[in-house]
Homo-oligomer: A and B are copies of this chain.
Amino acid sequence: MKKLINSPGSVVDDALVGLAAAHPALAVDFERRVVSRAVCPAGPKVALVSGGGSGHEPLHIGFVGPGMLDAACPGELFTSPPPDRILAAAQAADSGAGVLFVVKNYTGDVLNFRLAAELAAEQGHRVATVLVDDDVAVRDSAAGRRGTGATVVVHKTCGALAERGAALEEVRELGERVVAASRSFAVALAAGTNPETGRPGFDLAEDEIEVGVGIHGEPGRRRERLRPANELAATVVDAVLEGNRPGPGDRPIVLVNGLGATPLIELYVVCAAVTARLAEHGVTPARTLVGSYVTSLDAAGFSLTLTAADRLMLELWDAPADTPALVRA
């Protein structure tokens, strides 16, 4: 294991120190591991709070700022934060118009955010939750589909709507519509290595890939031979469109996302391949975002997220944002 770290146990805390150093617009509570905006919104607005295990950066800490999240609560690597940390984030974020929890659908996140919501309600916060479950690689699990790339679309669109002064229920409802319109699927060339264990989540041969992989080193649906980007893109596009073809009025938002160790030039190659395959399906993206936004430590590979956006979603996707990882002028 080769990593730029000091010790496995200090990665999250050290990274938060670096985040705070680079981004004076963020307030970082190191004790409770809460990242929030240094300058609070002028008046009350619905506060967006998200979090989950660390190791997926820039998700979520890199999306705190005007136009997106009000606070993020990063947990240990790949481990959702406990309820009191989530509660602390809600407290830091609530400006009087209620708090929306954006939760990726993993058992740990679901349970901890649920307990946190109860605690927050006891303290008088109004809390609503959007559960993100876009990863179609998962089938037949009573736990449901995992939450991955669509989280970014929810953060961006719900964040913009909240900034416009919409009410909690309205923002939650938008989030649910975005989730319903979103599908993701991922392929890994190499698993990430959790520094705590020092071992990759799974081992792949030099010519093997993991198809339908999760962002915590969860192995995927199946193992295959590495193929050219065009073929991989076809597999992934087809999986994402299966049973969820965007309708005629939809303006698809496409996210071509790197898993952490994927160079940008490869993501652009994938983007070309994805765009071509979508065209074969008659789907023309309205917007395409390329970069590493929802990562899995140093895993190599990519995920594709497609949101069959309506006009409002697209407008909110284009709205201003000013966060470490996503800025819109």
Chain A positions near chain B (C-beta within 8 angstroms): 2-7, 11, 14-19, 21-22, 54-55, 57-58, 62, 189-190, 192, 206-207, 209, 226, 228-230, 232, 256, 260-273, 275, 285, 288-290, 292, 295, 297-298, 300-302, 320, 322, 324, 327-329
Contact residue among B14, B190, B265 (Cβ-Cβ distance under 8 Å from A297): B265
A interface majority secondary structure:
mixed
A324 to B4, CA, bound (A): 27
Q: Which of B7, B55, B302, B329 contacts A322 (CB 8 A)?
A: B329
In contact, A18 and B290 (Cβ under 8 angstroms): yes
B18 contacts A272, C-beta separation under 8 Å:
yes
Q: How far is the CA of A62 from the CA of B290 in the complex (A)?
A: 11
Q: Are B57 and A263 in contact (CB under 8 A)?
A: yes
- B4 pairs with A269, CB closer than 8 A: yes
Residue pair A58, B264 in contact (C-beta under 8 Å): yes
Beta-carbon nearest neighbor of A208 in chain B: B2
Most chain B CB neighbours (cut-off 10 Å) among A21, A230, A232? A21
Contacts A4-B266, A4-B302, A229-B5 given; does A21 touch B271 at CB 8 Å: yes
- Which residue from chain B places its CB closest to the CB of A187 in the assembled complex? B4
